[in-house]
A and B are shown apart, each in its own frame.
Chain A
């Protein structure tokens, strides 16, 4: 590995140490990170793997000093992180390039902040640009570049200040498959040849294969609140082969760990719902739901599919696939366990049904298994006018979740209920009604 790194690896003090960090908003009402610990040593690439909303980006920003954690401690080279430490820089999912600065000016920005003279700045920026393979693009503006080239600028900008730790927040997820793969390989080559002036990389990802491909260690985060659910060491030699059985086994293992979560809370009995409407519902289109049901019901899966190959064949990353799969689980159309997804009897019936029958089935599952849907339907049934202002439910939800999540959940349930023709929503008056426009 990196010789530059082995010299410092002997040093016992970890580069970054995170101890029992919690992050919450609204006076502890919404917990994003809960008692998270993490150690980053020199010479390793560590991946933070988890669903969106598991707080991994928040953790990354806490380490970068962009957010102050509510409690707990973060140290960089043994010293507490105050402000944004010089030895840490970051690569963003959105590239975060300044559109009005050229590639060269973008790369020089970090050096300018350190008060470095223009000649020296230019020299170092050109070095970084050469290293990252951007020669010839120095005077281009970001909008003239492809996504891959933009992210290279992001990388060059992060490296030019010679950080010890490189933080990467889903650096490849905004790129197409081929471009992302090229960038990963290039980055790994630079890393293993020790050509980058960094000692360690901490990356957030929601792509399981990416994590297994690049990382020496992977921390799996669970969501709501974000916790470190598991830590997996990956000892496969670089370069790694995706088709290697050991590689596949690791991917499978991670899928299993990520699907083995506490089962979705079920209402105690169908009538009582008030206690359970505090769940943030996923916003998944009913088209995606029926599409996945049909796919699993059909050949070659016949009702039961292994998630990794399913994800691969559909070209979906976990952040795309999991919400669909979990929605199916929530509606009891499917069961998720040990990396597999299996259709329930209702799911199989849904797959074979015609449009109207499907809507009926969907409505049944919605009322039976989604407490909020049942609750709203009951309120509408009880009112003589059969209509209720959305505000009423919004406020009710806001007692249990943030304003943003309440709005999100309400939109999710609206779209499902519209499909199921369970109840309707009129945007103009902001009212829920039982009457569908006829």
Chain B
């Protein structure tokens, strides 16, 4: 935690405690046991992570339900590691982009592109790289898996943090400079708290994507290298190849419990705690609640234990403070020479051009125009799938979302479920669909497609619910006073009202679907392999074959498609929504 409550109240509380009444209360016992359990489990899994690579073959993943908790734990730890890596990346890179104009010129466009690169494509290269980095240890494979999750999470978190840093309120900035806060203090007292709500929301979104990729990245085959890390993803892969229906059910159950625990033990407390960072100056009516957070706040012993930590944190805050201030802290950046800027820009462009040339040459060595045409054809097929599916999902979920959102009592119950479903890795459910297709002999080209949106459609639902809940009641009253026809009610009142929210949801859903296509367009059950024609299948097959030039080409084209889709459709819609349809 960043700010421990050090107010008078807790001081006097501590004073009474030290007078001999150090009685841990019942909340202490509860909180301590939960925390101890979490620490023990994490330590156990962390040690296992560094085991020898041979363990993977001597003690392979088995479908014994007794092992499932252990696998779940290992999967969770990967998530933890990735989220911590993402946070560090966010703090460093976003700060750099916000503080240095030249770094900004490189970082922001790069992030924009990286956001649209299919994450699973990275695996091909990173597995080889990381295995070479830690020969003979599982750590290499672990790192590759963690890196895959990291690439699914880091970019939007970094964007959010960067945006917050750029929009720090001017008056608070002036107070900080006026008092001469050190940059360390400024970061923790002003910038990080101001960015916290946005960052936490984006981290939550990232986590949802993360579960998907952790499942997809545990059992990896790249060319001749096959790695199966102990985890739910590997369990699932094994269950599929053994055609073990029950084991798939176990995986679904384990995943559900895992996400529930993660939400209850980690995210809810953080959201409840972070409520105070919201910058609005009015007290909010609905405070996010969390029983864990309440529990921690009611503990007595833990507060006492926390005090030295708080004191240490406090001392850390003073590092470098109080020294004579030297350089003037000016609002305007010192005028830098325009020539240097231009040179820097030329340098960047040259580097980018060189990169492009190298890539093209690399691909050209083995592939020709026919391959490019094939990839674009696949890209179009996947594009059609994504577009149709998002449209279908919108047709279904927008009316339902509006219906739910306008009824606060229902919304309160449905909203957490929708968020839970969004976090649930849809690839765990794929086998059920595949079995159905195999059994009925339906066309994979059509029926594998819904898998792409299985996990991402919920973004549309819960954003629409949020939009409808926030719709001003006076506008609804106007609509009912004028007895609008239901056509007018939808087109003139409701749809414009929820549009900004819908765009956000649909944008996320689209991005997720592109990513999911790599997993969804190719599916198998035992020895039966299903395949749909599309770019996702192309990349998946190339990865499995270890055919790097094809992977590079596939990823490049998919990034291009996603970027174009975002630029030509979503961004204009977003701008339009911001300009014309904002209700506040």
Contact = CB atoms under 8 A, between A and B. Distances in A.
A binds B: yes
Interface of A: 61, 64-68, 82-84, 86, 88-90, 92, 94-96, 98-102, 104-105, 109-110, 112-118, 138-139, 141-144, 157, 161
Interface of B: 3, 5-9, 169, 171-172, 174-175, 177-182, 185, 189-190, 193, 196, 276-283, 311, 314, 317-318, 320-323, 325-332
B318 A138 contact: no
Nearest to A111: B179
Contacts of B279: 99
Nearest first, the 6 A-B pairs at minimum CB distance are: A115-B322, A96-B171, A115-B321, A139-B7, A110-B179, A113-B179
Given A92-B175, A113-B185, 7 more contacts: A64-B174, A82-B328, A83-B326, A90-B175, A109-B189, A141-B276, A143-B281
Contacts of B320: 115
Contact of A100 (B3, B174, B321, B327): B3
B3 A68 contact: no
A109 B176 CA distance: 9
A82 to B, nearest CB: 5
B189 A98 contact: yes
Contact of A92 (B5, B171, B328): B171
Contacts of B318: 112, 115-117
B321 A84 contact: no
A13 B317 CA distance: 37
A94 B282 contact: no
B180 A84 contact: yes
Given A66-B177, A83-B326, A118-B311, A98 B7 contact: no
Nearest to B278: A99
A113 B278 contact: no
A190 B180 CA distance: 27
Given A82-B328, A115-B322, A99 B276 contact: yes
A112 to B, nearest CB: 6
Contacts of A94: 171
A143 B329 CA distance: 29
9 contacts: A83-B326, A84-B180, A90-B178, A98-B175, A99-B276, A114-B321, A115-B322, A118-B314, A139-B9
Contacts of A90: 174-175, 178
Contacts of A67: 330-332
Contacts of B179: 84, 89, 109-110, 113-114, 161
Nearest to B182: A113
Contacts of A142: 281
Contacts of B314: 118
- By secondary structure, the B interface counts as loop
Contacts of A116: 318, 322
B331 A84 contact: no
Given A99-B276, A139-B7, A112 B321 contact: yes
B486 to A, nearest CB: 26
Contacts of B282: 143
Nearest to A427: B580
B277 A99 contact: yes
B178 A98 contact: no
B174 A115 contact: no
A96 B172 contact: yes
Contacts of A61: 174
A79 to B, nearest CB: 13
A235 B193 CA distance: 47
B413 to A, nearest CB: 29
A83 B190 contact: no
A83 B329 contact: yes
Contacts of B175: 90, 92, 96, 98, 109, 157
B582 to A, nearest CB: 14
Contact of A115 (B171, B277, B323): B323
Nearest to A116: B322
B8 A104 contact: yes
A273 B321 CA distance: 58
B21 to A, nearest CB: 22
A113 B311 CA distance: 16
Nearest to A428: B580
Nearest to A115: B322
A64 to B, nearest CB: 6
A436 B148 CA distance: 58
B3 A104 contact: no
B178 A139 contact: no
Given A110-B179, A114-B321, A139-B8, A99 B174 contact: no
B321 A83 contact: no
A83 B328 contact: yes
A95 B175 CA distance: 10
Contacts of A95: 171
A68 B328 contact: yes
A89 B8 CA distance: 26
Contacts of A89: 178-179
Contact of B322 (A96, A114, A141): A114
B410 to A, nearest CB: 29
Contacts of B185: 112-113
